[in-house]
Structure 1
Amino acid sequence: MAIREATWADILPASKILAKAFKDEPAFGEYIHPYRDQYPEDLYLFFLRYLRVEYYRRPDHVMIVSSTDDESGKEERITGLAYWIRKRAVEIKPSLYNRTMIQAMESYNYVESFAYPNRAAEPSRVNVMEQVEPFQKHHWSGTRAESWYLAILCVDPACGKRGYGRQLVNYGFDRAKKESVGCSVISAEGKEDFYQACGFDVHVGMAKDAGGDENPLKDVPGGSIFFWDNGIKPEGIKSYGKA
């Protein structure tokens, strides 16, 4: 088992693993992609276009992959991906090059979508994760403004129960320990026990708790928000509407 930083060549296979792993997950699967059973081959396009853009949000955004090796030690294929974001009280912006590449990828995705539309998705829901951010951001305030946030984690369903997911989680915990900050994650439904077993030991609420009817995820299962505070006493955490 190997863990390494993702390369551009990993984006396509990782997007297909994400599509398999999240096909029936309530938010990415059922809510954003209600037509996935009719167009299962389109589901990966959502993740492909997401990863293309996020790949260039450096230096505080890190994609890592797990992989299998053959008997000679040569990498055979990737088995999972984790996308870790270093949240800060004062954000570090990407370089001019990366900002340019982000814009280029967004433009490329837009043009490509006409030739290869994601027919599995409901267009009005594709940007739901950006829409719900204002209802969640208060949790990352005070001492928790500095943390490594696990934005997305997936393991190929064919490679489950082999420790890949835990290794991908450990990467962020190791970085957090070196920097004396905590870790955070928003769990998919049914994955709460896994994240708690990995060390996320403080449950602070749900992604759908705030905003009432304005929160598009108010009726979507899952979304438990967990922290690991790394021994730091939480202070200055704001309530919804105060952040």
Structure 2
Amino acid sequence: MLRILNSCGEQQILALMARAVVVAVLTMLTVQCWFKPTEIEDNEVDSDDMERPSDREQNSRVVKSVVSSGKYPEETVDESEDARSVFEMLRSFQVQAKFYMEEMREMIGERKNNEVMKDMSRRLQIELENERELELLREMTSEREREIAIICKAAQDQWFGVIESCKHSVYVNHLDLRTKRKELEDHFASCGAVTTIEFCRDSANSRFIGMNSARIEFIDIPSKLKAMELAGTFLNGSKIDVTTVPAPGLVRYRGNRPRYKRFNYRCC
């Protein structure tokens, strides 16, 4: 639609320009056609008057005879009236040309205003799109911040629970492989209420990790301190060791990867 409107505006401007050019050409032609013959006739008359003075006398005699007889010839055309009509035509042509020029200026001004309005509308659209993108970014960042806050809170709670369990836990090392959970609970029952007992075993082959150890969690710290006093006692014929730190074999580090030898094949 905008292209069609632009083409229509250009066609109107060209039509007005053509009209103005036609009017100017017509005025020039009328001026040339009207004034040149009169000048030539005047020059001829003047030359005739200069060359033949006898014609003047004849004309004066004819005029006197007409006046004496009372018969007047037909009315001659007044050149002043014709000149006035020509000037009026020229003025009308000038007025039309001015009118066409004013219309052209108005159309050009309207076209410029339309272009300015289009530029303003484009800028406003770009600003609105930028504002929408900023709002979307703010919403996304706020959602991310909420998710991160929830994750951090869960991690803090979990870590706090781990710390609390470590505060109430002891590690029993050098256990017999045949030791059961009930036997451990009976051995440490005099210290206090036991909440959890975990054997440090591998999940793949259910073997003990480290120094055949187990973790015992009590309900409070005083019962933990009493359990520390049972270090060096015997359980199922083995001397146990009670500590607050896990055995060194419980923390599993990533070992070095095996190196593969390169085989050099020789061509026979």
TM-score between both structures, scaled by the size of structure 2: 0.20
Name which one, 1 or 2, has greater alpha-carbon Rg: 2
TM-score between both structures, scaled by the size of structure 1: 0.21
Larger strand share, 1 or 2: 1
